Amino acid sequence: MSLPTLDQIHIGIIGLGYVGLPLAVEFGKHYPVVGFDISRERIAELEAGHDSTLEVEDEMLAAASRLSFSADPEALRACNVYIVTVPTPISGQKQPDLTPLLKASETLGGLVSRGDIVIYESTVYPGATEEDCIPVIERHSGLRFNEDFFAGYSPERINPGDKEHRVTTIKKVTSGSTPEVADLVDALYRSIITAGTHKASSIRVAEAAKVIENTQRDLNIALVNELAIIFNKLGIDTEEVLEAAGTKWNFLPFRPGLVGGHCIGIDPYYLTYKAQSVGYIPDVILAGRRINSNMGAYVADEMVKAMLKRRIHVAGSRILILGLTFKENCPDLRNTRVIDIVQALREYGAEVDVYDPWVDPQEAGDEYGIEPLTTVPEGTYDGIMLAVAHREFRALGAESIRRWGKPEHLLYDLKYVLPADAVDLRL
């Protein structure tokens, strides 16, 4: 079975979110590309030349001259390389939810032809591509894996909202189901990735490399979160400790905080699931997840205790949360842990408002039942918590933010955005 050469490649990208669209744009500068998404609203906005996730600027979208969009799977029929970039969430029981991935594989089963290559980029546990996804394609296509069609895995490394580290400037891990396919997949990505590629020896190695990237970050953040709790009980400023320790050349610059989003707060559960399926309990990873999952409730409790010490009644109080997205300077609300703070404070009887200039109000309402403020009334709040370090909040400064508070109020800075002497409480 002969594989296509680079000049014969026609790419179909399934899923046009934070991962798929930037990839489609870069490939669309060099190859014929069809970007497919099941959301017709998403396709309509992209055809109109705008990306509501703000990952791709309008002029970059226009520069991808060989890129087209469609919500019709039949538009992918002419492709011979398919790249899957759909989400891989977890269930309410914190188990991997492969539903989007398996549905994409079903769709591909009706499209792939002899000699085609399917490349997965979605984060999964080691073995998911060949054990879970490929059998679906075989079943729906009637073709045989590694005889009639082939597979690759090249994990996404998108950092939402980051305009410095982008698709082409982040080194890409690649892999293939045969040595020849691995070479072609590597060459394909290397043709657009200026930072270069790293060809893994197998798909399973590439899958494992991806899932531990964010597991490592999760554990490091869990460590500093636990340190912050300890130092708070000792009456020591955590940021001062971290700044002092950071003078050593090999001290890692992690900071405490909420761990949300579609990667760090999700990916470790894919690894722990797989570990437990082979009889091993990953105690350290699970302990880190527990610490990070509980941080929203912890900071809410700290705020309540600080308010009570100032004789500010919590029940019936008004509290303003600044920021709802899972990270700064980004409209992404997926798995934001700010919602944990909101819910915990409401359980104490506080009336909680949220202000975030980055969020889509409709999405906030649909996802979390929150109606964000469009303007903030001055002199209104008993407590203000700066939860997300958006540039707008940095620009405001403590004096302007405090104008939203009553004469007697508490200002809690979770993100070390404001000077220590300008706030009442820091994480």
Output the DSSP codes for 163-207: SSS-GGGS-EEE-BSSHHHHHHHHHHHHTT-TT-EEE-SSHHHHH
Question: Which run of H or of E encompasses 100?
Answer: helix 99-109
- Among 123, 124, 126, 34, smallest CA distance to 81 is for 34
What are the structure tokens assigned to 247, written together?
């003078």
Q: For the beta carbon of residue 147, count every other beta carbon within 10 angstroms.
A: 9
- Reduce the secondary structure of 268-300 to three states and give it as a string: HHHHHHHHHHCCCCCHHHHHHHHHHHCHHHHHH
Distance (Å, whole) CA 156 – CA 386: 30
Distance (Å, whole) CA 241 – CA 312: 30
Helix (H, G, I), strand (E, B) or coil at 155: coil
At residue 72's C-alpha, the angle toward residues 67 and 76, to 5°, is 55
Which residues are catalytic, by number?
Answer: 263
> 404: which DSSP letter?
T
Distance (Å, whole) CA 207 – CA 93: 23
* Partners of 319 in the β-ladder: 352, 383
